[in-house]
Each structure stands twice: as C-alpha cells, then as structure tokens.
Amino acid sequence: MVVFPNAKINLGLRIKSKRADGFHNLDTVFYPLPFTDALEIILQSTPSETPVIFSSSGHVIPGDTQSNLCLKAYHLLKNKFPELPSIQMHLHKNIPMGAGLGGGSSDGAFTLKLLNDKFKLNIPDDELLELALNLGSDSPFFIKNIPVHATGRGEIIQPTSVDLSNKKIALVLPGIHVSTALAFKGCPISSSIETCDTITKQPVETWKDDLVNDFEQTVFPNYPVLANIKEQLYDAGAIYASMTGTGSTVYGIFNELPDLEGVFNQEYQVVLL
C-alpha cells in the first residue's frame, strides 16, 4: 500500500507567549499543499528479527535512522498493538528537510494513518491526533490534512474556511537549513490582537501588511537571501509572499501561473502548484 505524505505552508505565524514547558504558544493557519513524499508499507517477505525493515530514496535523510518519524510512528502503534506484524517500509523523500514544509511530521502522521488502515486497527481520529502529537507539534494537522487554525504548540486545531484553490502557489527552496533554535532566539512576542485565522478570511490581496511570520525578524538578518527571494516573488507578481515555518522555504501566491524562468538562482528548487 502506497500513500503520499504532503507538505504544508504557514499562512501567518505569530509567537503569542512562552510556556512553562519551554515551548511557545503560537497562532498560525496550516494549509496543505500537493507537494508530496511517497511512503510504501508491505509485510516482510521473509521472517526477520527486525520488526521494521526501513529504506529510503530521494533526499538523503540525516541523523540516526531509528529517530526517523516513520519508525517512531510504527513503534508507537506496536506498543499499543503488540500483534502489529513486521513490515518493510520505503520512503521516497521529495520534500526537503528543514524547509518549513512539515515533511517529516507529515511522513510520521501518514505512517500512523496507513498502518491503521492497512491492518484495520480501527483507531479513531481523536486517538490518532493524540498519537501524532508524540511525533511533533504539527503532526496532528496531517491527520486532518485540511486548512486549520492552529494554536497552542500548533496541536490545537480548528478547521478554517481559507481556500486557495483558485490561486497558484510558487515554492522557492534555496537549500538552506535554518536552525529552529536560531529562529526562536530573540524572536519577539507578538502583540497582535487579530488572529491569523481572522486575517486569512479576508481577500488574499489584503494580507501583505497584516499576515506576518514573526520568524522573518530573526531569520532574514541571518539569511538575507531569503528576504531577497520574498522581494523577487513580489516583483514577479505575487499578491502575497512569506517564509513558511522557521524557513527556509519562501512561497508566493499568484492569481495566475507565474513565469519564473531565470528569476531565481539556478541552484534553487522552484515548485509551482
């Protein structure tokens, strides 16, 4: 069985307060995009002492394989359902890591959903949401995978009416890995009363001055190329442009499919959706 874990962008991202547990309370709108990885799970063909045989292709995934969120998702369910069989899992990584697109969180959440469906575990959505929170603050969003207003750490989600289906979205991925710690360091607490949800209910053309990603204040001075990409998107006709998450992807929203040939450094990946 194959599924296609998709990316997301943040429509606005405000830091509302620091929490006693060290996390921050956020205000954002998560919006799903049809830019995907591919994940396949099958039963192991021959008996093995290893419950999961994992392989990957595409973008190289850094770090210890055992820390991969797909494997963590499997072991979360294995602890609850000891009868869960041994599997082979292959992940084709198309969404870059550290790009603010939620690719890893999506892979983990889709693993939970795929295992639940394939092996008929009958786990209700509410319980899947709780399990997904063990994988990352934005993983619960990918269980629902519809536009949502997210608060708390990003795990408190409510459906929202924002709809960009009649727009074109350009992602510009410069291949920079932005440190989340660096992004948070010195980032001010937002004093904005108006929520991202309220702003995104207005026409996209009105978002430019009001819909803000607070992390641009700390990331852009350290990576000025990202600020340049944002301005280049506006120069190319975007009606709204922003960094997503803590970076490094910058996106632009257009009324019509833009011609971006020759606009950006040829080493950048540009995805038109």
pLDDT in tens, 103-149: 999 999 999 999 999 999 999 999 999 999 999 989 999 999 999 99
Q: Taking 80 as the threshold, does the pLDDT of residue 175 lie above it?
A: yes
pLDDT in tens, 64-73: 888 899 999 9
Q: Taking 90 as the threshold, does the pLDDT of residue 180 lie above it?
A: no
Q: CB of 9 within 8 A of CB of 31?
A: yes
Core vs surface per residue 157-183: b (16+ CB within 10 A) or e: beebebebeebebbbbbbebebeeebb
Q: Taking 80 as the threshold, does the pLDDT of residue 243 lie above it?
A: yes
Q: What pLDDT, on the 0 to 100 scale, is given for residue 6?
A: 98
Q: How far apart are CA 84 and CA 117, in angstroms?
A: 12
- Mean per-residue pLDDT of the chain: 94
Q: What pLDDT, on the 0 to 100 scale, is given for residue 45?
A: 85
Which CATH number applies to 168-272: 3.40.50.300, 3.40.50.720, 3.40.50.1980, 3.30.70.890? 3.30.70.890
**Measuring CA to CA, which residue among 9, 64, 26 is closest to residue 156?**
26
DSSP state of 213: B
Q: How far apart are CA 222 and CA 2, in angstroms?
A: 39
Per CATH, is 2-159 categorized as 1.10.3720.10?
no
138 is catalytic: yes
Q: Taking 90 as the threshold, does the pLDDT of residue 17 lie above it?
A: no
Q: What pLDDT, on the 0 to 100 scale, is given for residue 173?
A: 97
Q: Taking 90 as the threshold, does the pLDDT of residue 258 lie above it?
A: yes
Q: Taking 80 as the threshold, does the pLDDT of residue 191 lie above it?
A: no
> Where does the pLDDT of residue 236 fall: very low under 50, low under 70, confident under 90, or very high at 90 and above?
very high
Q: What pLDDT, on the 0 to 100 scale, is given for residue 148?
A: 98
Q: How far apart are CA 18 and CA 119, in angstroms?
A: 40
Catalytic residue among 8, 93, 113, 230: 8
The answer for residues whose C-beta is within 8 angstroms of residue 5's C-beta and 6 or more apart is: 36, 37, 38, 39, 95, 103, 106, 107, 109, 110, 142
8 is catalytic: yes
Domain boundaries, the chain: 2-159, 168-272
Catalytic residue among 37, 107, 138, 214: 138
Question: Could you tell me the pTM of the whole model?
Answer: 0.94
